[in-house]
Chains A and B, each alone.
Chain A
Amino acid sequence: MNNTYAIKAENLTRQFGSFTAVDQISFQVKKGEIFGFLGANGAGKTTAIRMLCGLLKPSGGHAEVAGFDIFRQQEKIKQHIGYMSQKFSLYEDLTLYENIRFYGGVYGLRMSEIRERAEDLLKKLGLTQQRNLLVKSLPLGWKQKLAFSVASIHNPEIVFLDEPTSGVDPVTRRQFWNLIYEAAHGGTTIFITTHYMEEAEYCNRISLMVAGKIKALDTPTGLKTQYAAESMDDVFLKLTQQ
């Protein structure tokens, strides 16, 4: 890939019957950027993410993800991205190692690669001793860290994180963010949604969706200046209540 953008969207639109869930959104995400994708419940975030991940065909517009067209190359996109959601990420009744092996397989890695990366990953998380424990026996914070690592096992160009830190204690939440920083530092693009407005400030840039449209897009500092707000919480309230 020779361009500098991991995601390019132009007038991306999706309708469900007469309802326009995503209404001509345009934005770019740079490679290695941590991009916060915020919005009220029902603003169209999930629909937009599903299109970008190649899970839903848009009704109109253009978009490229990791250099692939979201209309024609959905399968290619799936191989080049990672996805982690708060609700479902790991199989509770499989061991740590089995989960890694499963996802490695899903992402098309060879067995030798899976073995090698599983060792690296467990070592990095300090979970080598726990490799044969069932995932359900892990504390939530560890599960989330493991889920993130598993979502990146195939060295994807972009990782989509859908409210990854919901309900996690404040210390573990910050450890999780250290993993995100590290991945971004290594060149992985991070596309993240969160309801913790203070976390939004850890992103390089943030977009804010209201009723299907992107209403603002800037750095956290830029948004606070533009809306004369003290915090991102303020920015959010001002933008969504206009």
Chain B
Amino acid sequence: MENTILVQQISKSYGTTQALDTISLQVRKGEIFGLIGPDGAGKTTLFRILTTLLIPDEGIATIAGLDVVKDYRKIRTMVGYMPGRFSLYQDLTVAENLEFFATTFGTTIEKNYDLIKDIYQQIEPFKDRKAGALSGGMKQKLALSCALVHKPEILFLDEPTTGVDPVSRKDLWDMLWKLKETGITVLVSTPFMDEARRCERIALLQKGKILAIDTPEQLRKSFTKKLWAVSSNAGMYKLIHDLDAYNRTNSAFAFGENIHYTDKKEEVIAEGLQQYLQQQGHEQVAVKAIEAGIEDRFMELMSNEHE
């Protein structure tokens, strides 16, 4: 398939802080591609380079074959960008904001109404309200409408779900999948590991480096160890404490109501571990083999980086 975003060996530093360290990736036309990583991973820097707002120190990046440094004017008409911070005019109304963005890009709301209809209709009842007075979920819908009003080929969304409740997050992902059906390419970043599964392919980012790029499914499967979910009735605090002290523990991390555990020796461990925990005073000990998730894999890759 055709690549629409091509990033080759991009590096960027701010003073002594290396924000991006020789990053390479490709995003296919019509794909929903996720950049997954915590604050400081370099997600925003990469977005700013790809939307021509920042010049990289090294490397090349192209959008639909156009160079992000030389062809910035052309690229700006082709992409929609929703920055992480709410970037609309707080003192303008909902309708005025949308009008402003349409005019800036030399188009009208009417011309591309079909594309934004599903999203904009949800906030249209409030079109005379000032943007600053909208709730979090509504602001997000307005920002997305404004980023789409000129019918971009590629949509860049920097942490659209940060600080947003689970319902609005789900809404947003549903909207992105609808947009994909119209042929738009979506590059989206998120610090929520569980949102990785809503993307077709993802890059795991940490401290300016790409840890891995793959489909969410393949990434999950590339977890190298056998993974166990451990629980007891003694409470998380004691369970973590006792597992950290166990001489066979390779890793033990809290996941919801369980601990995800890997063993140093990789043998069948259930009985030994059960026995050990019982000796420490745990009751109703459950040890169960499970499949790893994206977050398990992310943490495994992080610990490899540290070594």
A residues within 8 Å of B by Cβ? 39-43, 139-140, 163, 166-172, 174, 177-178, 181-182, 184-185, 195-198, 201-202, 220-221, 231-233, 236-237, 240-241
Partner of B257 from A39, A166, A168, A220 at Cβ < 8 Å = A220
Q: Are B162 and A167 in contact (CB under 8 A)?
A: yes
Q: Which residues of B contact A232 (CB under 8 A)?
A: 256
Q: Are B40 and A140 in contact (CB under 8 A)?
A: yes
- A236 to B194 CA separation, bound complex (whole angstroms): 15
Q: A139-B40, A166-B162, A240-B165 are in contact. List 8 more A-B contacts (CB 8 A).
A: A40-B137, A40-B165, A169-B38, A169-B41, A182-B237, A185-B237, A195-B164, A233-B194
Count class of interface residues, chain B: 20 to 34
Q: Are A140 and B256 in contact (CB under 8 A)?
A: no
Partner of B166 from A167, A170, A236 at Cβ < 8 Å = A236
Q: Are A174 and B135 in contact (CB under 8 A)?
A: no
Q: Which residues of A contact B255 (CB under 8 A)?
A: 198
Across the interface, name the chain B residue whose C-beta is closest to A43.
B165
Q: Are B137 and A42 in contact (CB under 8 A)?
A: yes
Known: A171-B299, A201-B257. A140 touches B39 (CB 8 A): yes
Q: How far is the CB of A138 from chain B (nearest CB, A)?
A: 11
B105 adjacent to chain A (CB < 8 Å):
no
Q: Are A241 and B167 in contact (CB under 8 A)?
A: yes
Q: Are B136 and A42 in contact (CB under 8 A)?
A: yes
Closest 9 interchain pairs by CB? A169-B38, A167-B39, A41-B136, A181-B237, A201-B256, A40-B165, A42-B135, A236-B166, A41-B165
Known: A41-B136, A42-B136, A170-B295. A195 touches B166 (CB 8 A): yes
Partner of B256 from A167, A171, A198 at Cβ < 8 Å = A198
* Chain B window 129-156, contacts with chain A (Cβ cutoff 8 Å), 1 for yes, 0 for no: 0000001110000000000000000000
Question: Which of B166, B194, B254 has most chain A Cβ within 10 Å?
Answer: B166
- A198 to B303 CA separation, bound complex (whole angstroms): 21
Q: Which residues of A contact B38 (CB under 8 A)?
A: 140, 167-170, 172
For window 275-303 of B, CB contacts with A under 8 Å fall at: 295, 298-299, 302-303
Between-chain CB contacts (< 8 Å), 12 pairs? A39-B165, A41-B168, A167-B39, A167-B162, A169-B206, A171-B303, A181-B237, A195-B163, A198-B255, A201-B256, A202-B256, A221-B257
Q: Which residues of B contact A168 (CB under 8 A)?
A: 38-39, 191
- A60 to B162 CA separation, bound complex (whole angstroms): 33
Q: Are B257 and A233 in contact (CB under 8 A)?
A: no
- A174 to B256 CA separation, bound complex (whole angstroms): 11
Known: A140-B39, A185-B237. A197 touches B166 (CB 8 A): yes
Q: How far is the CB of A187 from chain B (nearest CB, A)?
A: 13
Across the interface, name the chain A residue whose C-beta is closest to B258.
A201
Q: Which residues of B contact A170 (CB under 8 A)?
A: 38, 193, 253, 295, 298-299, 302
B192 adjacent to chain A (CB < 8 Å):
yes
B115 adjacent to chain A (CB < 8 Å):
no
